Amino acid sequence: MDCKQRDAASEQLLERIERDARDQLKRGTKLAGVKRFFAEHNIPFHSANSYVSGGIRTPRCGPLGCDSAAALIGVRVELDADGTVNGEPTVTLALVTNCQ
């Protein structure tokens, strides 16, 4: 897969996760639904305090002078004391490079 194809595939994955998070992780969603979302997107599931979060890497084009790059797509969801979604999900994208 060439550089442009990797970037396009990464953007499509990000858009799908953002759309699905908005649709499936609405306020009131129970913990079982949150776990199902993470499992369906192959995102490892971590919980700390009142948040559930996880992230996956996807290949990207590296900036000039870098061997490789990856995008880290992260998802974070706030839960109440009963384990129910209590806020809007947050989906982030961070670029990780291997420059030597």
Tell me: the pLDDT tens digits for 3-12? 788 888 989 9
Whole-model pTM? 0.87
Query: How many domains is the chain built from?
Result: 1
Residues 6 or more apart whose CB falls under 8 angstroms from that of 27 comprise 84, 85, 86, 87, 88
Tabulate helix, strand, coil % of the chain (nearest 5).
30, 40, 30
* Residue range(s) defining the domain that contains residue 76: 3-99
**What percentage of the chain has pLDDT greater than the value 90?**
60
The confidence score (pLDDT) of residue 35 equals 95
